[in-house]
Amino acid sequence: MSKINILSPFVADLIAAGEVVERAASVIKELIENSVDAGSQNITAEIKDGGASYIRVTDDGCGMSAEDAGVAFFRHATSKLSDENGLAAIGTLGFRGEALAAIGSVSDSTMLTREKTSGIGTKLSLLGGEITELSEHGCPVGTTIIIKSLFYNTPARLKFMKSDRAESAACLKAAMQQALGHPHISFRFIRDGREEFFTPGDGKPLSAIYSLLGREIVSELIPVISDDGNIKATGYISSPPHGRGNRTNQFFFCNGRYIRSQLLTAAVEQAYKNTLLKGRYPSCVIYLEIAANAVDVNVHPAKTEVRFSDERRVFDAVYYAALGALEGKNITPAKHENADNKPADGAIASEIKGEKSPYMPAAKPSGSSDNALPWGSFFEADKKSNMPEKEEKSGISFLRSPIAEFEPLKSEINADDNKENATDMPALNESLFSGEGVATDNLAAEPDFVPVIIGEAFNLYCFVQAGNELLLIDKHAAHERIIFDRLINEKEKPGSQTLLEPVIIKADAKMLESIEKDEDIYKDLGFDAAVFGFDRVIIRAVPFGLDAAEAGETLEELSSALSNPQTAADEKRDEALKTVACKAAIKAGQHSAGEEILELAKAVLAGKVKYCPHGRPVSYSFSKKDLEKLFLRSL
């Protein structure tokens, strides 16, 4: 007896539907893409109950005849592809002929459509993929598709649907991606009877960005433009001071199609190299225009992953477009010989999924400077910036005069008083001096002398003399560790300070879910935060020591850490405390009083502070002997 069964078309359709329709947001995406391909100028998407009970997408596109409407929900039925030759250069968003069939097989569907040349429209109703009605019906030009009871016949898929709030946020994001990719079309999104966004459709990307991402995002953007004749990259990127704790506001479009691409993400972030703090990411909306036959979109049924025929060239186009915007110059990528398609020497260390990118920029083109501040031209125009003027000397960057910076601070401490105790300082590793110093990992429990403060460098590091040792301390890292240890060892919950004026921030789906799911953790940390409306979070209180101005940014990073699937439940509190400690610690560029530096130095010398919570060393020690070797004073 045969053990292999041939599945019925109905079961096969249900299985195939899972590849295309993962959730309500997938339905929104597919239906809007069809509306865009139909030449629409106005598109409205509406959902109820997170899309589970009701989805409607209406457009004013070309519409369909009764004949076409009757076969539109058949599997592999499409007007965008006629033979295999069309796959080599796909110029539409849809082409597989799977979306409507997949949606119709797992829902109660209704379509109203009319062509401009027809005086009457057509109504098509389906239940579980089976047509129940096909008749004439009055309706405006264009197409309206209504989806009810999504996944009613696939309980396994319905069981894994998230909360209405999370599903609604995913639908909103899917509609936003389409609206950003097509600024020439006016989009409207309605959730449970309330309009969530509207774009004017004036063809200006900045108008769409303003409507969808908000005024604050627009105020920090820098225009991007690059065109080498084959690849055109345009759009906007954020200025370096406005890095975010996640990549939520990174959007990439290829020929109008929203795509997810590690290649493009690496290209943009590489342009920010040495300008963003670790763990901070730029915002961007990048539009890539490339020949249709140079990109393969037939990679996955969702059509959000693509392959480029010349990835190196695409990488260079986006990288130099972003770099040129940051430097205030129009940089064109150097011509790239792609005969062997080999990456240049070296590699970009991409933090995306912990993988290495095999690409690095082509040879540095003329018009780009290695030593120039990448965002210098931007800050010259920004009168509000307090960035100190940078001076270049022999390849070493000083934010101030080195003589003035290293001038010893006035202190009650007398260096001569410490001579008798100088020998009490434990000897550290005295291996051959490497030029990088020795991490202070084995210090005395309590030094018997008072350290001598020499000064600060770049308002970030401080120099302290301790006996025969010169200590270089990272103020932020040391202070961060002190705060973290205090928080982790406190038996009682950290104190909380009520804000004089509550802070309201825009939140994505992950943050909204985290605020509700991890409510106890936020309260334990001293936060009083709650979901406020559809996509907002209101912050009424923050932990003691945290600046109210950083409440939104801190909460954003906290939610990102807590919603990370790789973070175990018992590690969530520690990860949250790391974020709070980092935000409450002394900031880079912040001047410190002598008393503050002295307390940091004592903690380091006592061995209480060795590494920051993220694993970086907080100090390096140079012995007198090391310095003598450096200056060739010892034989």
CATH of the domain at 54: 3.30.565.10
Residue 379 has pLDDT above 60, yes or no: no
Residue 275 lies in a domain: yes
Instruction: Please report which confidence band the pLDDT of residue 140 belongs to, taking 50, 70 and 90 as the band edges.
Output: very high
CATH number at residue 548: 3.30.1370.100
Residue 419 lies in a domain: yes
List the beta strands (DSSP E) in 394-448.
396-398, 438-439
Q: Are residues 102 and 45 in the same domain?
A: yes
Task: Supply the angle between the helices 509-517 and 164-181 in degrees, to the nearest 10.
Answer: 160
Nearest to 61 by CA among 32, 86, 81, 92: 32
Structural contact between residues 534 and 196, judged by C-beta atoms closer than 8 angstroms: yes
Residue 529 has pLDDT above 50, yes or no: yes
Structural contact between residues 576 and 558, judged by C-beta atoms closer than 8 angstroms: yes
Residue 70 lies in a domain: yes
Residue 33 has pLDDT above 70, yes or no: yes
Instruction: Please report which confidence band the pLDDT of residue 76 belongs to, taking 50, 70 and 90 as the band edges.
Output: confident
Residue 207 lies in a domain: no
Residue 439 lies in a domain: yes
For residue 432, give the DSSP letter: P
For residue 526, give the DSSP letter: T
In whole angstroms, give the CA distance from residue 195 to residue 171: 13
Instruction: Please report which confidence band the pLDDT of residue 277 belongs to, taking 50, 70 and 90 as the band edges.
Output: confident
Q: Which domain holds residue 493?
A: 398-635
Structural contact between residues 267 and 322, judged by C-beta atoms closer than 8 angstroms: yes
Nearest to 464 by CA among 588, 622, 616: 622
**pLDDT digits over 178-188, tens only?**
999 999 999 99
Q: Are residues 177 and 63 in the same domain?
A: yes
Q: Are residues 604 and 475 in the same domain?
A: yes
Q: Are residues 164 and 73 in the same domain?
A: yes
Q: Which helix (H) or strand (E) holds 194?
A: strand 194-198
| pLDDT at 302 (0 to 100) | 66
Residue 490 lies in a domain: yes
**pLDDT digits over 499-511, tens only?**
888 888 888 777 8
Through-space distance between the first and last CA atoms of the chain, rounded to whole angstroms: 90
In whole angstroms, give the CA distance from residue 513 to residue 169: 10
Domain count along the chain? 3
User: Which of 164, 198, 232 is where one domain is finished?
Assistant: 198
Residue 564 has pLDDT above 80, yes or no: no
N residues, the chain: 635
Residue 595 has pLDDT above 50, yes or no: yes
The pair of structure tokens assigned to 374 is 């990448």
Residue 353 has pLDDT above 80, yes or no: no
Q: Name the strands in the sheet holding 108-114, side by side, starting at the edge strand that comes first in the sequence.
A: 130-137, 121-127, 108-114, 142-148, 54-59, 42-48, 186-191, 194-198
Question: How would you label 75-114 residue by residue, b for 16+ Cβ within 10 Å and e otherwise?
Answer: beebbebeeeeeeeebebbbbbbbbbbbbbbbbbbbbbbb
User: Which of 150, 167, 198 is where one domain is finished?
Assistant: 198
Q: Are residues 548 and 451 in the same domain?
A: yes
Q: Are residues 482 and 356 in the same domain?
A: no
Q: What are phi and psi of 113, to 5 degrees?
A: -150, 150
Residue 384 lies in a domain: no
Residue 276 lies in a domain: yes
In whole angstroms, give the CA distance from residue 400 to residue 360: 33
Residue 246 has pLDDT above 90, yes or no: no
Nearest to 535 by CA among 262, 172, 229: 172
